Structure 1
Amino acid sequence: MTFGQPIPIGDWVSNGVNNLTDRYAAAFDSITHAVHFLISGLQTGLAWIPVPVFIALVAVLALAAMGWKRPGGWSLAIFSVLGLGLVWNLGYWDDLIKTLALVLAAEVLVILIGVPTGILSAKSRLLEKTLRPVLDIMQTMPAFVYLVPAVIFFGLGLVPGVISTTIFALPPLIRLTTLGIRQVPHELVEATQSFGATWWQLLTKVQIPSALPSIMAGVNQSIMLGLSMVVISAMIGAGGLGNVVLEGITQLDVGKGFVGGLCVVILAIILDRLTQSLGRLNKEKH
């Protein structure tokens, strides 16, 4: 390579990806089966619940999370009944269930990866400094870019949609978990250690409960980011409400695109308010 010649970064990345797919094909197949099992279980479980019962359960959950005596609880419960009832009336209930299963599956993976990583980052300055530029890149990378490796490694369908959504929604939870653990009062940590608590007892009985509001804020942000990937993931066969919006775009059907987007907004508002209220409840307890 001579001076002035473009650096073949794209070729290096392509060669690296090809090597990974050749060497670790069995590992990627195992991940595909595990994620597909998770999505199928969630879809089957959510679809098994009768629609009226599902809507009623969401309303009760809203009242329990926001508080029976608070106007906000009743407002969210009424909005949930009217909003979900509208989705059912429009004939997009199955698509909503698919979207909800996709978001929940991605969030399960985000929590399983993000919370332990955030805790380790809070304990190690070296790890935090190493992760910081990686998380910066992940948060500034265009969402469409995540679709390419997901398709190469996992093919088309729900699985690459969940994987790309997981990667896209992961950084906020890692950052806020790290922040929450580090903001636990040093005096509280020293007092716990002075009573002979092990590192596991310190983590599970003091640090995580104290950091839970911050962790729940990370969960809330990651769910919102996951929903923002719904339409984009539909481009690789994830289906759900994103597919409705995508069909509206490709067919230049403004009405269909609007209705699909409206259903996504209804689901996003319900999930946002529920996770925010759960975070406030934990904060009030501590």
Structure 2
Amino acid sequence: MDDFRIPIGAWAKVGVDWIKENLDGLLDVIAMVARWLVSSLTDVLVATPIPVAIAIAALIGLLVRSWQLALGTVVTFVLVVGMGQWESAMQTLALVIVATVVAVVIAVPLGIWSARSDRVRAVLKPVLDFMQTMPAFVYLIPAIVFFSIGVVPGLVATVIFALPPGVRFTELGIRGVDPETVEAGQAFGAKPGQILRGIQLPLAMPTIMAGINQVIMLALSMAVIAGMAGADGLGKQVVEAISTINLPKGVEAGLSVVIIAVYLDRVTAALGNPGEYRSSLLGVLSRRRAARRNAAAEEAMAAARSIPAVAGAPFAPESASVS
């Protein structure tokens, strides 16, 4: 019985070796594009003057949520600068943004497809379970084999680890739309694509945004693991602190990760929560614009009703007598 062993690991190695040998050109293209995206965004974030970057982040917080978030953003980001972690924080932020965009681009269509097909859902469910429960460190092994050391294996591992919530929440949001609302759209002759764009996606958007929020949080949780693969940023700072038992450096890098995570969480949560969005500055301005438009429409209608009746005129004064 001790000699009986199923060589699943050996089979996985054979598969990885086959991909490395036969899809080397595709892997090189993926690595080049991923490296360019992360490095370009990192250069933009690092080159932006720190006061300007903090002001933009605070303005986003003010627009989508509240002045408290804007003030907290200024205070915490200044703390990151004071700890000397600003450049590393921007490197991590660039990695998280690129990984989130890639994950969302893949996850939302898969979630929509899964919501529309029970067969697709039956296939995707065990795959997503596998992706979510597999230890994140395991993803680094084939990623490093495919792309060597650097930011690319960290990005690939981050995308794989952060992808499942986006698919699940998108499917949940689409399936949760009231069937009667969909049937009403079909009764008016709307095509499936029009129903998806005009009914299902808008109604499912809070749930989809909650999924995007989870994608961002999982991507940030992979920052340290990406640092182990050689990606620059706060994760690399944590790994160096662990290897040298440098407590101050580890605390500062970890606290910087927390600050970025809290900021991104609050912003995306506000975008996915209509109640919080309505209380934001952007929501207030939107309501004022809508009120002005309604007032202008009412004035135009009142003016049209006051025009004397003429031959062929579409409106007639209510007080006009019929002779």
Q: Give the distance between the partners of 1:8 and 1:152, measured in 2 at CA.
A: 20
Give the superposition deviation at 1:47: 2.1
Structure of higher CA gyration radius: 2
Query: 1:60-71 counterparts in 2 under 5 A?
Result: 60-66=59-65
Which of 68, 74, 79 is 1:81 aligned to? 74
Which of 125, 129, 134 is 1:136 aligned to? 129
Are 1:268 and 2:244 counterparts?
no
Give the superposition deviation at 1:4: 5.0
Q: Give the distance between the partners of 1:41 and 1:281, measured in 2 at CA.
A: 33
The two structures have a TM-score, normalised by structure 1, of 0.94
Aligned equivalent of 1:70: none
Which of 82, 94, 97 is 2:87 aligned to? 94
Gaps of 5+ in 2: 279-323
Name the aligned partner's letter for residue 214 of structure 2: Q
The two structures have a TM-score, normalised by structure 2, of 0.83
Give SS of 1:215's match: helix
Query: 1:114-125 counterparts in 2 under 5 A?
Result: 114-125=107-118
Give the superposition deviation at 1:149: 1.1
Give per-residue Cα distances to partners, 1:88-128, cap 9 Å, x unaligned: 12211110110000000000111110000000000110111
Aligned equivalent of 2:179: 186
Give SS of 1:176's match: helix
Gaps of 5+ in 1: 67-72
Give per-residue Cα distances to partners, 1:65-104, cap 9 Å, x unaligned: 11xxxxxx22211111011111112211110110000000
80 and 202 in structure 1: CA distance in 2 versus 1, 3 angstrom threshold: same
**Residue range with higher mean Cα deviation, 44-53 or 173-182:** 44-53
Name the aligned partner's letter for residue 36 of structure 2: F
Q: Give the distance between the partners of 1:27 and 1:61, measured in 2 at CA.
A: 38
Give the superposition deviation at 1:282: 8.2
Question: Cα RMSD over matched residues?
Answer: 1.5
Give the superposition deviation at 1:284: 6.8
Aligned equivalent of 1:149: 142
Aligned equivalent of 1:12: 11
Aligned equivalent of 1:41: 40
Give the superposition deviation at 1:153: 1.2
More helix by share: 1
Give per-residue Cα distances to partners, 1:112-152, cap 9 Å, x unaligned: 10000000000110111111111111111111011111111
Give the superposition deviation at 1:174: 0.3
Aligned equivalent of 2:243: 250
Give per-residue Cα distances to partners, 1:199-244, cap 9 Å, x unaligned: 2111111111111101100000010001000011101101201111
Give SS of 1:47's match: helix
Q: Give the distance between the partners of 2:25 and 2:81, measured in 1 at CA.
A: 41
